[in-house]
Chains A and B, each alone.
Chain A
Amino acid sequence: MKNYKSLYLLIFSLLLSISGVSTADNSPKSQLESSVNKILDILKQKDLDTASRRGKIREAINERFYFRAMSQQTLSRNWKKASPEQQNKFVSLFSKQLEQAYIGRLEAYTNEKIEFLRVKMKNAKRAVVYTKIITKTADIPINYKLALKNGQWLIYDVVIEEVSLISNYRSSYKDIIKKSGIDSLLSQMEKKLAENKTANAG
């Protein structure tokens, strides 16, 4: 009897650990959740100095954001027309811009509760994770679109209250490219980033 009992216990704990591993590491929801929580934790650490805090956040964001995919989507048809140098420059500028925007918004909501609701698998390599920020007067739905790459689910779009961040950037950039070309867009982005940098420092 005693042996059986311990055997059951062993099997049970094995099963638990297996299921624990699989949900913790492989599901889009848990991967996203751990990243968002990681970023929130860094934001809440008030003892860190600004520079090292930003560095840590940037690292956490870079782990989870699929900036190249986001850039491709944002430029859409113009991506293929751009030279590899232009593409790379755009990716680097756009990631900085998105980083800033995402950190800024997350900072505003650090003290609110975030609920991770459910996952919708679009296919084996695409998923949407539905989340909600609960504030006193309203719930703000935020959906993360994720793509599977090398075992990691990476964010390629963030949809806030039905508004896709990517398609929002896409339309304004399309306008600028149409009017004055991609190099002008790149220099405008550079200028904006520099402006915000001085504004943040001051």
Chain B
Amino acid sequence: MNIKIQLSLFILLTSLFTANTWAETANTQAIQLAAAPASTTSQDDDFTDTGDDDIEISDPFQSFNRAIFKFNDAAYVHVLKPIARGYRAVVPQGGRESISNFFSNLLAPVRIVNSTIQLKGQDASNETFRFLINSTIGVFGLFDVAKNDFKINIKKEDFGQTLGHYGIGNGPYIVIPLLGPSTIRDGIGLLVDGTWLDPVAYLDETGEYLAVKFIDIETTISLDKDTYEAIKKDSLDPYIFLRDAYIQHRAGAVKK
């Protein structure tokens, strides 16, 4: 646990030095986003004007990132995915869905706290309600009763989104070993959420922590419909494709 806190402090400190560049990126982004709606409307058959509103991505560590991307790809193809296939064969889908619900419910504190910091009162109370209902009637979160019977859907919030909500830009894009696409901002978000708000972090043994996270990741992969394989198959440069998808997806999540 100590190592994690030290690490997050280190990154927070180094980030202070780069805060200026961030503010700049955040600014250009805001301008570009604000300018976006006007550009797509006018002409009838000319669609060449779109693209000016794309979010600019800072990727100064690209060659390093690509190396980690390659490593992650190999880990996924040769280790994580084959295990997920075996897992699929042994545990029926319904069981894996319940396990996925369980892990998702466990992260309710991350969503509640971050909704609260962003002053999204309705979301915070919805997530609290979901957590209480699913942990009790939903048997420790195995069943998403709140969604199925009360029609209250999950609303994901994390510390990266909180930082974004308060105007902090992505900073450089990074690829984290085994975790994949992220940015400096979202990486800090992961550390903050993962250190203080994720209940699994309070397990005493590192081995236990890793084992739980491993099951979590394998469950997610086992339920996924080969999204990564599809991206790899369809795109000429999966690294860029994933990078842009990640940045767009996060921008959308911050806005919500």
Contact = CB atoms under 8 A, between A and B. Distances in A.
The bracket for how many chain A residues form the interface is 35 or more
A84 interface: no
B233 to A, nearest CB: 6
Interface in A71-94: 72-73, 75-77, 79-80
Contact of A176 (B40, B237, B252): B237
A101 B49 CA distance: 25
Interface in B202-256: 223, 225-226, 230, 233-237, 240-241, 244-245, 248-249, 251-253
A175 B48 contact: no
Contact of B47 (A72, A164, A172): A72
A126 interface: yes
A136 interface: yes
A101 B234 contact: yes
Interface string A38-76: 000000000000000000000000000000011011011
Interface residues of B, number: 38
Contact of A168 (B41, B230, B248): B248
B125 interface: no
17 contacts: A73-B51, A76-B49, A76-B50, A122-B40, A137-B101, A137-B104, A162-B248, A163-B245, A163-B248, A164-B248, A167-B50, A168-B235, A169-B241, A172-B236, A172-B240, A172-B244, A185-B236
Interface of B: 40-41, 44-52, 54, 57, 93, 97, 100-101, 104, 153-154, 223, 225-226, 230, 233-237, 240-241, 244-245, 248-249, 251-253
